[in-house]
Amino acid sequence: MARQIVLNLIIAFLWMLLNQSWNGAGFVTGYVLGLLIIGVFRRFFPTPFYIIRIWAVIKLLKLLLVELFRSSFQVIGAILKPKLDITPGTFKYRTELTSDFEIMLLFLFISLTPGTLALEISKNKRTLYIHAFNMSEEEEMVSSIRDSFEKAIMEVTR
């Protein structure tokens, strides 16, 4: 991936050099041209096209922001009601993630989202203990985490 980025930057600077246009528009044109060239010849690279990974990172950050805002409003709505009708609870979450970096990202994203808090990681690094502010059903919470954060983290890291 790093080789593709460096090659793309070299193509962009070569484009600027050959056209003698040392400005932002010349760089963007060269960069897009480099993307097209690398995209055409991507089968000669051992790693996947790097734009796919960058797109996955952007989707993960978007997911984090959406979940952050959505859960913030859910917590605020629950607090502002005259009668608290919440059911806090703790549940176990068995993860499919394997590397320490992936598990750390999941742990941080769960802790950053209002209404949930990752408490502990088991010794085998496969189970997380999570506290939820309003836990209606454990399976719903597990599937929500698996379908959102865990899936997006796998797209970025694998």
Q: What is the pLDDT of residues 42-96, one digit of tens each?
A: 889 898 899 999 999 999 999 999 999 999 998 898 889 888 888 899 999 999 9
Kindly report, residue by residue over 114-135, the tens digit of the pLDDT.
889 999 999 999 999 999 988 8
Question: Are 145 and 84 within one domain?
Answer: yes
Question: Are 16 and 65 within one domain?
Answer: no
Percent of the chain at pLDDT exceeding 70: 100
Stretch 95-110: mean pLDDT: 95
**By the 8 A CB rule, do 110 and 144 touch?**
no
In the chain, how many domains are there?
2
Question: Are 58 and 120 within one domain?
Answer: yes
What is the pLDDT at residue 97? 95
Question: Are 61 and 27 within one domain?
Answer: no
Question: Are 31 and 63 within one domain?
Answer: no
User: Residue 101: which domain range?
Assistant: 53-157
Question: Are 63 and 130 within one domain?
Answer: yes
